[in-house]
Amino acid sequence: MASGKRQAPVIILTGTPGTGKSTHAQFLAEASPIPLKNINVSEFVKEKGLHEGYDEEWQSYTVDEDRLLDELEPLASAGGLILDWHTCELFPERWADLVIVLRCDHTQLWERLEKRGYPVKKIKENNEAEIMEVVLEEARQSYPAEIVIELKSETMEDIESNVSRIVDWIKAWQKNQAD
C-alpha cells in the first residue's frame, strides 16, 4: 500500500481524454478539506520541457517518462497531490492512495473531442479506447483493486456527486492517518 504516514493523499485522476479529468480536478481542489496541489501532467510536461519533441501526426508531445518521474517523485513523496493524466500505469504503486477512472458514453465523448478540435484520427483512437476500457484496465492492472474507483462523468450532477464522494474518501483517509 501507498503512503505510510503522509500528511495528505495522492489521488490519481485518470480516464480517456475528454472524460472530465481537469474539470473534476478543479472542483476537487476547491472542495478538498486538505489542500491538494492540482497537477495536469500534460501541462506539466510542456512547461518543464519533459518531452522529446512534438508529434505532428498525433498532435501530442512524446513524453520523456524517466524525467517526468524524477520531477514528480519529491512531490508524490510529500503527498497532497491530484495527478490528472490520461494514462496512469507509469506512476509507481507506492505513490497512489486513490485512483479514480472517469468514464463517459462514447457518443458524448466524440462530441467533446470534436469541440476540442482534435483531428478525426485522434478522436477515433480515443473513442475506441473508451469503448475498450483501456484506461480502466490499465488502472486495474497497476494498482490494488480496493483503491481503483470507476466513476461516470456525463452530467454536472455526476461531477457534483463524484467530487462529494472523493471528499468523503479524503475525510476518511485523514481520520485513518490520525488514528
Site string for ligand ADP, 136-155 (x = CB under 6 A): -----------------xxx
Q: Which is nearer to ligand ADP, 3 or 153 (CB)?
A: 153
Contact pick of 35, 141, 156, 175 for ligand ADP (by CB under 6 A) = 156
Residues 97-136, interacting with ligand ADP (CB under 6 A): 112
Task: Extract the C-alpha cell encoding 57.
Answer: 501526426
Distance, CA of 113 to CA of 119 (rounded, Å):
9
Q: Is residue 8 a contact partner of residue 36, using CB atoms and an 8 Å limit?
A: yes
Give how many residues touch ligand ADP by CB under 6 A.
15
- What is the number of other CB atoms lying within 10 angstroms of the CB of residue 176? 8
Distance, CA of 139 to CA of 176 (rounded, Å):
24
Q: Which is nearer to ligand ADP, 95 or 118 (CB)?
A: 118
Task: Extract the C-alpha cell encoding 114.
Answer: 470534436
Instruction: Give residues in contact with ligand ADP (CB under 6 A).
Output: 15, 17-23, 112, 153-156, 158-159
